[in-house]
Structure 1
Amino acid sequence: MKKGHHILIVEDEEHLSIGLRFNFEAEGYRVAVAGDGPSGLRIFRDAEPPIDLIILDLMLPGMSGYEICRQIRTIDPSVPILVLSARTLGEDKAKAFDFGSDQYLTKPFELVELISRVRNLLERRHGGHPVSPEQQETVSFGTAEVDFRTHEVKVAGEPRTLTPLELQLLRLFINNEGVVLTRGDILKEVWNIDPPPATRTVDNFVMRLRKHFEEDPANPKHILSVRGAGYRFMSRHEDSPEK
């Protein structure tokens, strides 16, 4: 992984943000810090070089972390966002994912784990995440071509930008082709939420994948709903209607 990646820390607890900045700079990263929501959003928009990853608290002055997440996703759909919050409920985690975060770590936390998660997210964003031998690096279905190593995605020859979570969900579907995956299965495997809370996180992300890969998202041919159960991925179109 290349050192010097630009990290933005949005955290209103000054002692924590100072400590995080010190430790990430010691790891070789360039670090910007904001103590409130509007400042964090402004730094993200104006940063040069651009921000490569965001560590984001949820309870912030001026603007919540949820709203920051939502606005950042309208600017950059793929920049990794790691939420670092004292909120521990499954509903809080699900809401953060719904708004576009990629990972969620609760306070108090182990610094080693945080640094490891940041490293892994940056490796995935920049195409350095290792692929296990049983996983295909490149996959084609319909008019789509996906390279999981480089994160290059094309649909009908046109490039598409997917977030790390969207790619992770797509990989889960592809690796389990033909298998019905429940929403609980998906939340556990992709979001590490168990037991699953009542949330539309999975449904929202499936809708996003369908917009990328289905010719008609309202009548999908690849990411199929199975009523009362979950979802099933098929690389080849089935003649039968969606269940």
Structure 2
Amino acid sequence: MTQRILIVEDEDAIANGLKFNFEQEGYEAIVQRDGPGTLRYIDEHHGEVDLVILDLMLPGMSGYEICRAIRERDTDLPIIVLSARTLSEDKAHAFDCGTDQYVTKPFALPELLSRVRNLLSRLKRHANTPPDPPPTALEEFAFDDVHVDFRSFEIRRGEELHRLTTMEMQLLRYFIENEGAVLARTQILRDVWSQNADVTTRTIDNFVMRLRKYIEADPANPEHLLSVRGTGYRFTAGEKHASD
């Protein structure tokens, strides 16, 4: 089945150029030029979009808002932000909203095509795996007053419930699966963001700050997700239990 790419871009030259090149690569490419049209298309074609290319500066509804709305509908749909905004704050905000990768304009077409192929290949491998996880797969994890549900992408701490983005949950899973180990920032970049050259160690720090808000009673004085000066981070659960 031909994989479908949704291009969300209001500049005709860029949108048409992307559509042409994706179709030359054998993909089906659909163009939407604003947020409402994008979300309506995703709702009407649920499960039929394989990847989204998303501009940030759009009329009426920003790319950030669109990204968050997509994530509320689908936590796994790959999203690549394609934007002229180059500030680290813009990139951090985009990752906060749930994007998988961030490419700045002007961009090299071969690089973008490579990123698309990698994300879609990862999605295809995931789709070909059995729907039920193997018996050893970690589905839930609990420690202190925190309960993590990897299946629903939710964390409950006391009476508070938080829903995580795909990258937030992947990073938390990585920390939990490597409990007690000191993890260097470069190691985390390689293992969690293996395909994204635009992610920096500062991005990891931003994600860790958000995770602390979810799991720590006092995020300013963490007891579980600890900083290791000059290196990276170490996760310690203390009293815990994990279930398959």
Give the TM-score normalised by structure 2: 0.68
**Secondary structure of 1:79's aligned partner:** coil
Match of 1:103 in 2: 101
CA contact (8 A) 1:182 1:231 kept: yes
Is it true that 1:225 corresponds to 2:231 in the alignment? no
Q: 1:26 to 1:171 in 2, by over 3 A?
A: farther
Residue 186 to residue 202, structure 1, CA distance change in 2 (3 Å): farther
1:193 equivalenced with 2:193 (yes/no):
no
Gaps of 5+ in 2: 128-133, 142-147, 154-163
Task: Give the alignment of 1:97-136 within 5 angstroms.
Answer: 97-127=95-125
Contact kept in structure 2, 1:187 and 1:196, CA below 8 Å: no
Contact 1:6 1:49 in 2 (8 A): no
Letter in 2 for 1:108: P
| Partner AA of 1:94 in structure 2 | A
Structure-2 change in CA distance of 1:36 and 1:225 (3 Å): same
* Residues 94-103 or 28-37, more deviating: 28-37
Classify the secondary structure of the residue corresponding to 2:202: coil
Deviation larger for 83-92 or 40-49: 40-49
**Contact 1:8–1:31 (CA<8 Å) still a contact in 2?**
yes
Question: Which among 168, 171, 185 is matched to residue 169 of structure 1?
Answer: 171
Deviation at 1:69, TM superposition (A): 0.7
Partner of 1:28: 26
Output the amino acid matched with 1:226. Answer: L
- CA-based RMSD of the aligned residues comes to 3.7
Residue 128 to residue 141, structure 1, CA distance change in 2 (3 Å)? closer
CA contact 1:9–1:31 (8 Å) conserved in 2: yes
Q: CA deviation at 1:206?
A: 6.1
Structure 1 residues 198 and 53, CA gap change in structure 2 (3 angstroms): closer
Q: CA deviation at 1:140?
A: 4.3
After the TM superposition, which of the residue ranges 50-59 and 175-184 deviates more from structure 2?
Answer: 175-184
Q: 1:65 to 1:122 in 2, by over 3 A?
A: same
C-alpha distance 205-34 of structure 1, shift in aligned 2 (>3 A): farther
Segments of 5+ residues of structure 1 without an aligned counterpart are 130-136, 145-153, 211-216
CA distance in 2 between counterparts of 1:88 and 1:163 reads: 22
Q: CA deviation at 1:50?
A: 2.1
TM-score, reference length from structure 1: 0.68
Runs of 4+ deviating beyond 6 Å = 182-185
